[in-house]
């Protein structure tokens, strides 16, 4: 997940630089473990049974919780790497569709 997340992150930044014609997007890199955590959360959101989570006055299913957390982190900390977190989620979604993801045991808090 760490290697795939880094490669997808580089690909997303290169794609954004090409689409937006903004070369600074290619220069933006992030180092950290949050992409792996987002990929694990995305895998669990897709493979585990869907439950409803209430966060204050907002009700959301666990399938969309990872995306909501990514948006919240980006709004609260604008300097965080949005493309790094999105690449982690994309890797998690991709791995959830493979036999490796289907064989992964899920650990849920009870």
For residue 79, give its domain range: 2-102
Count of structural domains within the chain:
1
Query: pTM for the whole thing?
Result: 0.80
75 Cβ contact list (under 8 Å, min separation 6):
none
Q: What percent of the chain has pLDDT over 90?
A: 11
* Domain-embedded: residue 108: no
For residue range 59-106, list pLDDT tens digits in order.
Answer: 888 888 888 889 999 899 888 888 889 999 999 999 888 887 666 665
SS3 89: helix
Where would I find the beta strands (DSSP E) of the chain?
Answer: 52-55, 58-61
Question: Alpha-carbon Rg of the chain, whole angstroms?
Answer: 15
* Domain-embedded: residue 9: yes
């Amino acid at each position: 997940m760490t290697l795939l997340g880094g490669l997808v992150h580089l690909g997303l930044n290169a794609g954004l630089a090409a689409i937006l014609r903004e070369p600074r997007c290619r220069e933006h890199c992030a180092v950290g473990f949050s992409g792996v955590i987002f990929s694990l959360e995305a895998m669990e959101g897709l493979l585990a049974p869907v439950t409803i989570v209430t966060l204050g006055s907002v009700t959301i299913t666990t399938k969309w919780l990872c995306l909501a957390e990514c948006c919240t982190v980006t709004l609260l900390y604008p300097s965080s790497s949005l493309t790094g977190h999105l690449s982690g989620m994309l890797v998690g979604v991709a791995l959830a569709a493979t036999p490796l993801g289907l064989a992964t045991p899920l650990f849920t808090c009870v």
